[in-house]
A and B are shown apart, each in its own frame.
Chain A
């Protein structure tokens, strides 16, 4: 059993939110002196990213030339080896316009890599693969394993001295503030995504917020100390229920983690004040009052960016409707893109609406990537060891099920930005792997292997609860090395 004494003295880094098992708290040490930071930010779009809005004209033309026919889906690919186009005009793709240099902005085309043709049919496809997308292991009735951001957050060279091993925020169709359908601490242990920008702000910047929420934050220590004493007593008194004991131990670990984190965050006050994003309730109009998904997404991205800048975390997941039915949203700020200007239900938009609504979806992906690019530019503007924060941060954009609403999980279009110092070949290239079913097809697990190599924890066999479903081990030489 964990107790506060050994918790605080052995964890070294103070606890983060993945502390649910004893194995995750021992032996952690900070990144070696002089080593560049390593960060990962994953943007995960629910219910599919349509590859046609990600392909630039040159990549498409090349693929069609090889196939000898138009490319409607990955099934039309005709190549037998990965097709690498070194300087693809990525910003000319329907959803990648934000990569182009804007007024006073740098171009990100040369800091990007487009990855096409990856499959993961082992995950099942459909509306969403839920935990499968980030664990590369099929989720049947719950997560089969820890998801990639959890694993990354436990790597000392990634975690560094940050108080949060990973930050998970997002948007989605939900009446509750937590999405338990995409991330996981471990097998059978879903990790929540904070769906409310207000909640995300409070969790990350409550210590430096003004007014009552700031006062409440400071009084939490008393409450947590009381709770710790109480749960310790309860654990002594409880017998006869393994389930009950598990729950109490979960609570005990949560309390201890929160206490430790508070201690660390209180020492970061100046750094957090310097990067604190807009605070709920202080602006007029208050951006936090908007219920429009894209407005909430902008806030969540800003909060996540501030968390990276402030050193609160080095691992972020931003969910755009990933998991379950969280993708079934309406987008009032995209009304002009709906045929006839009439907004329809989120499910009909993606399903019953058909092809005439695809442009709404393409615009949606474009808007999502615009914020990803904004984060990248902010990071690029921050010099640090090894270059800039962008050099030390990989930003990955990916779907949670593959290529469309009812996906076959045959093509997972991805965009990468930055992460050069971690070995990622984000130099303006596009890489397209042979189609699903081909011997040289590769899977999203290979991307995660690449990330783990880049993060300093070389791993060749991430994911795949059923090893027979793996096509090949190792990282992807075309995007990492």
Chain B
């Protein structure tokens, strides 16, 4: 589980389990009283005054309707004074009604995150530099959110341990791994590297070059250049020998990376204010905002030769995404059509070489085994975070992974574990296999949301060459395709790995083993369906689920351990009216996934009975979602055709790429996004383009509302 989603789970219901009342020895009635803010025991103060303990504020868990919404446009959570409702607190129908209220995004500066910093210094995932401490705050829905993120003293202390190596890439020899085109294909930088006493002009050039193509990634002001130049001259003067030049350059680079304007990027806007007091992002602010959303890097981020075999990553001497540099320099970044063309060129597509993976973990043997479709790293990060499958390896480990499926044996168990860790062989993990599936859908870019929910084209692992007698690691590789219920041996070609899975077995990303495993616990009859249903309610229907009420002892009984999850939960939770009050928002959406076990294997039996994915959806937020479903494939089809669920997908896209929760002031943008998506036949690219060309993305308001992030 990502830190972001981990935090989201902490205050919410039942990631651990589900028994409401029995285990705690508390009656449902008493627990209900607790939940509404009154202590069951009737605690009184010891000074003789009756306290009637209420707990702290906001314990309004049971005050919501079945759909989690009220007539007033919010969803029942109390709102602190001064807070602006946002995110799932909003009524979705109202949010998609444009009343001509102006978008008022807050002006802010954004602290770089760990990945952005790693790429900014010219390094890659898995390097020592990638283990920098600039992690996103855990209480944010998405890692792209910036509110409240600052370099506090403890963070600075840790950062100082890594910043001294930030300039390493600029000291790599001409034929060393990790070298940069920005350095070695620019003859004017060489004097600083090779000359014993570089001239002031040489130092000025180098310093400006390092700021503009190695750290700031925008034009440096004379003040910025002068400050770093003075620092550089001091370090050169301290140099004991020209042999120490590499260390000197690293010190200069470290100083640059200590600059507040390097560590933070601005989104404050400039120029004349409009009638609402809003200003537009400057050309460079806009160019950076777009490329960070699109690729999680600045425009001009260096092209790196990570290793001899890998070759250079994308870009030339001026780095990657150089088109955005040109558009910022000549002002055409303000032209929506220019922006659209740039995005279409960089958002994804087909590339048999998969150059986008050069700075990812692994090497060319891993990359050539991935699918031929790629998506930009910002888009990939969005899907990993939204669907929350990116950190499946950090989830509770799965035990007896093939239980209730058609498969068994040590090799099946070990092969599944290998699809999580990719420790043996060169097939990729479940995470990248789902990446591949999504990238294929995005490459087609038609009716994307429906395809996400219903596509049966899965990228599955090859097992040819990994069988007994063919490979020394066959015990952990020979059965890797079984989690997809694929029999036989899969050849080691992309064509063979793409398999259209049976209609009654899989449909869309919610039936992918990566998603199923990321939203489950260790055992097949754990309350995995609660986790899955909870995710759908919150992330696909954009509704809140109340916090776990006080005194609810959420646990399934010990005695029921030999029964199916469906039986355990229906008898212990659904049958209890108090528990069902909240669980009816989750469980009906989770039951359809009981045709899979905890690891995502297709069940062939379930504790002596047939696998049962039936469920009845009632009181859903939109009528088209109501009614019986037969299983997860049926549910996915319904979600895929739901305008309501599609709107939530648009909201999630907005959140990640705008880097904040939406508010009612973004209503007109939401309408425009939906229009762009619908009129393009469901193009994710056009949705993205509409977003970055919107007022919600490009303007900054005069006020900075305290937007409450509900997780």
Contacts and interface: CB of A to CB of B under 8 A. Distances in A.
A446 B484 CA distance: 56
A100 interface: no
Interface stretch (B38-46, B361-369, B448-456): B38-46
Contacts of B551: 121, 125, 408
Contacts of A355: 558
A202 B161 contact: yes
Interface string A239-271: 111111011101101110110000000000000
Given A178-B154, A408-B24, A345 B39 contact: no
A257 B107 contact: no
A124 B137 CA distance: 23
Nearest to A16: B153
B138 A124 contact: no
Nearest to A123: B56
A466 interface: yes
B107 A469 contact: no
B396 interface: yes
Contacts of B275: none
A230 B260 contact: yes
A406 B556 CA distance: 12
A260 to B, nearest CB: 11
Given A251-B263, A471-B45, A230 B55 contact: no
B326 interface: no
Interface stretch (A62-70, A191-199, A292-300, A412-420): A191-199
Given A192-B155, A226-B258, A345 B521 contact: yes
Interface stretch (A85-93, A283-291, A311-319, A432-440): A432-440
B42 A437 contact: yes
Interface residues of B, number: 104
Contacts of A19: 153
A137 B279 CA distance: 40
A223 B163 contact: yes
Interface stretch (B2-10, B173-181, B371-379, B684-692): B2-10
A275 B152 CA distance: 28
B672 interface: no
Contacts of A351: 16-17, 555
Contact of B45 (A123, A257, A439): A439
Contacts of B251: 219, 222-223
B158 interface: yes
Contact of A437 (B40, B137, B153): B40
Highest count of chain B CB atoms <10 Å: which of A75, A177, A230, A441: A230
B111 interface: yes
A231 interface: yes
A220 B561 CA distance: 57
B264 interface: yes
A234 B221 CA distance: 12
Contact of A181 (B15, B133, B138, B153): B138
A442 to B, nearest CB: 8
A233 interface: yes
A353 to B, nearest CB: 9
Q: Tell me which of B46, B133, B260 has the highest count of chain A C-beta atoms within 10 A of its own C-beta.
A: B260
B255 A223 contact: yes
B558 A354 contact: yes
Contacts, number: 309
Interface string A112-155: 00000000011111111010000001101110100000000000
A444 B99 CA distance: 50
A258 B156 contact: yes
B410 to A, nearest CB: 15
Given A244-B109, A254-B151, A346-B396, A325 B6 contact: yes
A378 B297 CA distance: 50
A126 B259 CA distance: 42
A251 B39 CA distance: 43
Nearest to B395: A345
Main secondary structure of the interface of B (DSSP, over half): loop
Nearest to A142: B139
Nearest to A183: B154
A469 B42 contact: no
A141 B708 contact: yes
A254 B521 contact: no
Contacts of A216: 160-161, 164
Contacts of A323: 10
B359 interface: no
Contacts of A220: 160
B519 interface: no
A266 B439 CA distance: 54
Contacts of B269: 240
B678 interface: no
B51 A471 contact: yes
A247 B669 CA distance: 28
A455 B156 CA distance: 29
B266 interface: yes
Contact of B44 (A16, A219, A439, A473): A439
A352 B47 contact: no
B578 to A, nearest CB: 15
B45 A472 contact: yes
Interface string B412-455: 00000000000000000000000000000000000000000000
A250 B260 contact: no
Contacts of B637: none
* Interface hub of A17, A189, A247 (most chain B Cβ within 10 A): A247
Contacts of B158: 177-178, 194, 199, 202-203
Contact of A250 (B55, B135, B151, B266): B151
Interface of A: 16-20, 73, 75, 121-128, 130, 137-138, 140-142, 144, 168, 173-178, 180-181, 185, 188-192, 194, 199, 202-203, 206, 213, 216, 219-220, 222-224, 226-227, 229-231, 233-234, 238-244, 246-248, 250-251, 253-255, 257-258, 323-325, 328, 330, 344-348, 350-352, 354-355, 405-406, 408-409, 435-442, 464-466, 468-473
Given A17-B154, A230-B258, A251-B150, 14 more contacts: A17-B152, A124-B11, A178-B133, A216-B164, A226-B258, A240-B279, A243-B107, A243-B704, A247-B108, A344-B522, A347-B521, A348-B526, A355-B558, A472-B47
Cβ-closest 3 pairs across A and B: A437-B41, A138-B56, A345-B396
25 contacts: A138-B56, A176-B3, A178-B133, A178-B154, A180-B138, A185-B152, A192-B155, A194-B158, A199-B161, A219-B164, A231-B260, A234-B261, A238-B268, A243-B107, A243-B704, A247-B111, A325-B15, A345-B397, A345-B522, A347-B15, A352-B17, A439-B43, A466-B55, A466-B56, A472-B45
Interface of B: 1, 3, 6-7, 9-11, 15-17, 23-26, 34, 39-47, 51-59, 106-109, 111, 133, 135, 137-139, 147-158, 160-161, 163-164, 223, 227, 231, 234-235, 251, 254-255, 258-261, 263-264, 266, 268-269, 279, 391, 394, 396-397, 399, 521-523, 526, 547-548, 550-556, 558, 561, 700, 702, 704, 708-711
